[in-house]
Chains A and B, each alone.
Chain A
């Protein structure tokens, strides 16, 4: 059983750590939204694994709250960015936005080829 504990919590912990790294790096706001969503799901999974392995049903209501919170958070940030959308004739640089990092990476890839 100890092996199961270590394996389950180890995998969940490494997954959460990698999601945190993406949350810190993530070049755009949307990368961070996706990483936060995944992180909250991993936290909910960790709580459920704890409840299952310890036969401890007291954390199950917390699970409901965490899954609600993940949905509300990501939808409200996406709505917020959607409210910031304005019309632009081209890729947004005519209204003073920086170029998206993905576009730059795509151009660099084309030049290297």
Chain B
């Protein structure tokens, strides 16, 4: 076992251990943090940096081109998909108000009281046709009255 191999193995082990440490911190953050956005902040640490470190470490240890390409594919895929899923989850979390607003310093999405947030109610998609047209009509009339009242308040 030459000195080069020992150095390579040591580097790979350090990378694997630091990736595993990031996974541990993600678990701790998920348990300790107060709301969805901060938990997501903790949970995405191993999603990008941890997976990258572990993939590099495993590629150094495996030493085969096919395995290296596949690990590269996993790393690229993680970097492409992590922002997409985080964006979708955080958007829904903000709209459903799973946010500790008292702990925010800047809230750029908050547009003032009385401006309609969107929340979920049933399990139907928002653009589905109404199952009961009468109830849907009453609902839309109520919303129309509410919007009219809001315009009066603004004027």
The number of chain B residues touching the other chain, given as a range, is 35 or more
Complex Cα–Cα for A22 and B29 (A): 10
Task: Out of A55, A71, A102, name the residue touching B62 (CB < 8 Å).
Answer: A55
Q: Are the C-beta atoms of B77 and A15 separated by less than 8 Å?
A: no
Cα–Cα, bound, A45→B46 (Å): 9
Q: A33-B89, A38-B43 are in contact. Are A15 and B54 (CB under 8 A)?
A: no
- A34→B84 contact, CB < 8 A: no
The count of A-to-B residue pairs whose CB atoms sit within 8 angstroms is 248
Chain B residues within an 8 Å CB radius of A14: 24, 27
Which residues of chain A are within 8 angstroms of B117 by Cβ–Cβ distance? 88, 90-92
8 Å CB contacts to A: which residues of B34-83? 34-36, 39-40, 43, 46-47, 50-51, 54-55, 57-58, 60-64, 66-67, 70-71, 73-74, 77-78, 81
By a beta-carbon cutoff of 8 Å, the part of chain B in contact with chain A is 12-13, 16-17, 19-21, 23-28, 30-31, 34-36, 39-40, 43, 46-47, 50-51, 54-55, 57-58, 60-64, 66-67, 70-71, 73-74, 77-78, 81, 84-85, 88-89, 91-93, 95-103, 114, 116-126, 143, 146, 150
Given contacts A34-B30, A48-B55, A82-B88, 11 further A-B contacts (CB under 8 A): A15-B20, A19-B27, A45-B51, A51-B61, A57-B66, A75-B85, A83-B126, A85-B92, A89-B146, A90-B114, A105-B100
A: residues with CB less than 8 A from B are: 4, 7-9, 11-12, 14-19, 21-22, 28, 30-31, 33-35, 37-38, 41-42, 44-45, 48-49, 51-53, 55, 57, 60-61, 63-64, 67-68, 70-71, 74-75, 78-79, 81-92, 95-97, 100-103, 105-106, 109-110
